[in-house]
Structure formats: structure tokens, C-alpha cells
Amino acid sequence: MRFTSGWMTLLFCFCCQQLLAQKLTIRSPNNKIVVGLHSIDNGGWILKSSYHVNGKLTEVIPEVKLGLKRSDQDFSSGLRFLKNSKTLPISENYSSPHGKSSSRSNSANEVTIAFENQAKAKINLIVRAYNDGFTFRYEFPGKGGSYIVEDELTSYTIPKDTKRWMEKWNPANEGLYAAMSDDKVQKQEWCYPALFQTRDTTCWYLLHEADLNRTYCGTKLSNTADQDKYKLTFPNPADGRGQGSSKPTITLPWKSPWRVIIMGSLQDIVASTLVDDVSAPSTVKNTDWIKPGLVSWNYWSSNHGTKDYKIVTDFADLAAEMNWPYTLLDWEWDAMSNGGNVEDAAKYILSKGVKPLIWYNSGGDHTWVSSTPKDRMLNHENRVAEFTKLKKMGFVGVKIDFFESEKQDMIKYYLDILEDAAKFEMMVYFHGCLVPRGWSRTYPHLMTYEGVRGAEWYNNGPEFTFSAPEHNTILPFTRNVVGAMDYTPVTFTNSQFPHITSYGHELALGILFESGLQHMADRPEGYRELPDFVKSFLKTVPPAWDETRLLDGYPGKDVTIARRKGKTWYVAGINAEGREKRKMLKLPFLEKGIKYKVNLIADGQHDKKFSVRSLEVDNSASVEVKLLRRGGFVATLTPTN
């Protein structure tokens, strides 16, 4: 092809414009992830991201638009680049008492970019490139003055042919994920986190936010204005029964939450702790009292179970039999009868060597739910009084429900609860709530969140019976990536609506789904009637992990995950599809030169039967496993020496 001199001049000018448009580049420590800052028309700025692996370059997000609108000034256009800092290496190691891994590394390269708007007001953009993604946040460096943030202009441009798994926005974050691409992409408001697969299929990314605190509100994603652009959007004014402002008020100096893009292979996504890594360090100095564990829970099998003292004591007996450290008194404990009240129940539970947990309505005008006890968590004075009583009675944790909003006043409420609970060494878990934003690093006594369509939905209608198998294989790649998830798994009997998952599938959920307090939801006879080898497994399965690895899987089809506790590996896999599968379980993650004993519990002849076998392997071995339609398996791998 021949170029005329005119074409050569145009090409030269275009290349110069491109060079001028790109101001700087930030690379991850391993150079796989590259983030570029570019100028666009009217003094606007965007980020572009790419992924480099095995000599291949993938454009991941072609445009992340930047900007904020404050009540006094606009910081979305007309921004003049002032300077950028030198690259600052971020290097920090920390530990977590529960979660997908116990030892964490917060390692990144950080650059701060300074801008000013047309009125000479300053705004900074802080960008970090990690080996498993990148993050950015806004900063107003000025001092003094309070302002309303009218809008955040951050948006992600996603090409139509990018496959995505997204959950339609709902305040409880309890929807189903829909897979979409091309002409099936819907225009909606969407929950975090959202999963995307790039067109070359090797690179994936997950959109989320972290380190949300009292200075801002939670956001969500919306492509209602432009199908290809997912804009960060403030809470709906009607959320929380219209209580509180949907627009946050900030006081300078101020930093926004981190905007988080976890990026890489599916294994990188599943193993990532990036949401915690960028969040504020722990405010709790002594964490010895924070004890993850399994919990017996009566609500799934008997919605009004806590009203009945005899049901409560039966679940306490179950916890003692199964070596589970906790049992939960759910709603209606203040109306308990049939042999005892809440004080009697606490004494009985403690006499069994089990520790009690207890439920509360979050109270206040933000929820329509009138279930009592209500308002006891609503303000500092009430919380102090209630925690004082609970401590004397032997309770060690509280479940607080029905928040129904992510407005700034509700974020403050969440964090006030956590700070007061820490003073009484009281573990906390939230229900009817937002999805994790990294708070379990800052407040490690926050053990788990709901924010998921879990097994409770077998009580809400027939739909979950048929959607659960596929849904269960999407959650390890989406919701459970960003933090603990109280799905309330491992149910073998039926509640109000039946399962079509196999017993092997249900057993696997106790490993696949990570939660610092893992609520085992079946009725006592559901566990007591299991074969002894299954009961033995459930008596020893850990609630927290030292390491997590994805071995195989694809959202909506199947998933196999390995988690290590000490020197023992626990592996679990499930099949969502309506056909039998055979999997070759490869074991290169095992320590070289060591023999391991494998105890494998898999699907049996039909979906209510198990098969069991033991064998010896090393890291070069492969183990064939049969999964029934909608089936599953678990395995423990223990060093023989």
C-alpha cells in the first residue's frame, strides 16, 4: 500500500495527538496490568486498561470516564493536568482471622495525579496497579468546607461483545445473576459486583468498590442512559423508606472510596483479596476473641423455630453433637415459650459447650419490618445497654437485619454498630444488607454478610428450586469473591420448596461458599440421618482458610475450588447442568515429594446417595470424579507423614 505525502502528514499528526493525549502509564509490579491516563475533549480525562500475558496484549476496559460534580463546582470537564507524583511502591503484609486466605499481601504501584478546574480548585486522582487488578479514588486536598456531591461521573465503557454476569439492583442484594452479551445486554441499574469476560476469553474482570466509610454513600452501576456505559450511581431517594439523603455530604480534606477492578484469569479473580487489601487496616488491636465457626440455625427448617424453647434446645444439641461452636437464636426469641425463655435458652446452650448468637431488627424508620426486638441497635445508648446485657448472658455475636439502604446515613449506622460491638468483644453479621466493601479488614469481628440469594429462598417460592444449581456455580466467581457470604448452605431435607440438587452438591457448598460464620441450615434430623463418614466430614470442615485456589470452572456451568487449612486441602466441586459429568481432578497444588491421603465423598447411585473412597496420591496424580446432573463432591487431602 502506498502513502501519499498528504496521508503521511495526517498519520504523523494523528500519532502526535495520541502521544499527547496519553499523559502517563501505571504498571503492576509484575507488568501484566497497565493503566493509562488519557485526555479527551473539553478537558475531560479517562483511564484505559490492558492486560499482558504470554506475549499477548488484551484491551480490557477501553474507557473509564472520570469526574465529580460538587455543589459548588464541577470537576468533570475543563480539568488541567498539573503534575503527577513519582511511582510509589505499596508494600504491606497483614493477616486476617477469617476469609479465603489468612496471610495477605497489599502490593501495588501508586501514582497521584493533580488537576485543577477552571476556577483553580484542586482535585487529585490516585491510581494503583496491582498484580490482580487496579484501583483508583478521588481526593480533594483542600482544607475546610462542607459540600454536597451532586453526582459522580465515573463510568466504565464495556463493548457489547463482552460477556457479563450481572444482578439487577435491589436494596437487599438478593437477586439472580443474568448472563448477557451483544443484543441481549439489558439497560438497568445493577448491583455490585459485576463480572465480565473479554472477547479473547482469557482475561476476566470484576467491578466493585472498597473502603467505603462515613464520608460517602454506597454506589451501584447503571447503564440506563447508555447501554455501553456503566455509570456509578447514588442510592435511589426512595430506598430506606425515603429516609436520609441519596447525595453524600463531604468535608475537606476528603478521599472517595476506591473504585476496584479485579482483573486476570478466573483463578486470579477467585483468589483475589483486593477489596480487603485497599481498605483501612484493622482498628481492633486484640483479635483473639474473634472466632470463626459453624452455626446451627433453625430458621430455614422452621420459620418460627426460635419461639419454641424445645426447638432451640434441639438445635443446641445438634451443634454440640457436630462439634459446631455456635447456635443462633433468630427472630421471635423475645416471644419464646414452650418450656423456657431467652435467658433459659442461653443457659442451656452454654451448658452444652456451645456459644449463643442472637438476632435483631435494625429498627428505625428506614424499614417497614416491625419484627421485634426493634430499636435496640438504633443508637449508641441502646447498643451499649443491649451489649451489656448480652455479655452477661453469654452471647458472643449479633445478627442485625433489614437495612434497606446504602445512603450515607446508613453507612454511618453500619460502622457505628461495628465500633460499639468491638468494645464489648461482640461478633457481628449483617442481613438484609449491602455486599462487602472491605470492612472485614478494618473491623475483623464483622464475620459475614447476607447480600445474596441464599438457601432461605427455598422458603419464598418455587423459583429457587430450579435456579439454584446454576446460581450456585456463579456465586464463587461474583458475590463471594468480594467477601464473606451467608448463603446458609448444606441442606439435605426440603423446606417449603424442594431441592433438585444432589446431596453431593449440597455438601460441597460448605467449602465452595466462604463465610466466617457458616450457618448450617438443615433441621437436626437432616444431619443426624447422614452416613457416619459425611457427619465426620461436617464435624471437621473449617470455617476459615489459609489459601484458596480455583481448579476448574465456568460461571453457570460448574466450579471446583481447593481451600487449604494448615497442611490439609479441602476440595469441592459442583455441576449446574442437567447431564452427568466426569471430572479429572488434577493436583499440582500439593506439596512436591509428599504423599497425601484422599478421602473423597461424591455422588452415589442417585441424588440422595453418596459414594466414598480413599486413595493415596502425590502432586502428579489425577483423580476421576463422577458428578451427577446438578451433582457435586468434596475431598480432603491430608499428608500421610
Q: Which domains does the chain have, with CATH numbers?
A: 23-94+107-277 (2.70.98.10), 293-530 (3.20.20.70), 562-639 (2.60.40.1180)
Q: Given this model, what pLDDT does residue 268 score?
A: 98
Q: Given this model, what pLDDT does residue 21 score?
A: 66
Q: Given this model, what pLDDT does residue 20 score?
A: 42
The three-state secondary structure class of 566 is: coil
Instruction: State how far the Cα of 488 lies from the Cα of 389, in Å rounded to an integer.
Output: 27
Nearest to 107 by CA among 85, 86, 133, 125: 133
- The residue written with cell numbers 456459644 in the block is 355
- Calculated CA dihedral for residues 404, 408, 414, 419, nearest 10 degrees: -170
Q: List all residues 6 or more positions away from 63 whose beta carbon is below 8 Å from its beta carbon.
A: 46, 47, 48, 156, 157
Q: Which three cell numbers stand for residue 86?
A: 513519582
Nearest to 420 by CA among 393, 394, 390: 390
Report whether 582 contacts 626 (CB < 8 A).
Answer: yes
Cα 206 to chain centroid distance, Å, stands at 11
Q: Given this model, what pLDDT does residue 200 score?
A: 83
Q: Catalogue the E-assigned strands of 245-393.
A: 249-251, 254-255, 258-264, 293-297, 326-329, 355-361
Beta strands 146-152 and 254-255 are: unpaired
Q: Catalogue the E-assigned strands of 404-524.
A: 427-430, 446-449, 517-520
C-alpha distances out from residue 205 to 100, 101, 165, 209, 508, Å: 19, 20, 11, 13, 25
Instruction: State how far the Cα of 499 lies from the Cα of 513, in Å rounded to an integer.
Output: 18
Q: Given this model, what pLDDT does residue 9 score?
A: 36
SS (H, E, C) 174-224: CCCEEEECHHHCCCCEECCCEEEECCCCCCEEEEEEECCCCCCCCCEEECC
Q: Which three cell numbers stand for residue 514?
A: 466462604
Q: Catalogue the E-assigned strands of 468-595.
A: 517-520, 547-554, 558-565, 568-575, 581-586
Q: Which three cell numbers stand for residue 5?
A: 505525502
Residue type, 175: G
Q: Given this model, what pLDDT does residue 18 score?
A: 43
Nearest to 434 by CA among 465, 459, 408, 457: 408
Mean pLDDT for back-to-back runs of 10 residues, the chain (641 residues): 38 40 91 97 95 90 98 96 97 97 97 97 98 98 95 97 97 97 96 95 95 98 97 98 98 98 98 98 97 98 95 98 98 98 98 98 96 96 98 98 98 98 98 98 98 97 97 98 98 96 98 98 98 98 98 98 98 97 96 97 98 97 97 98 80
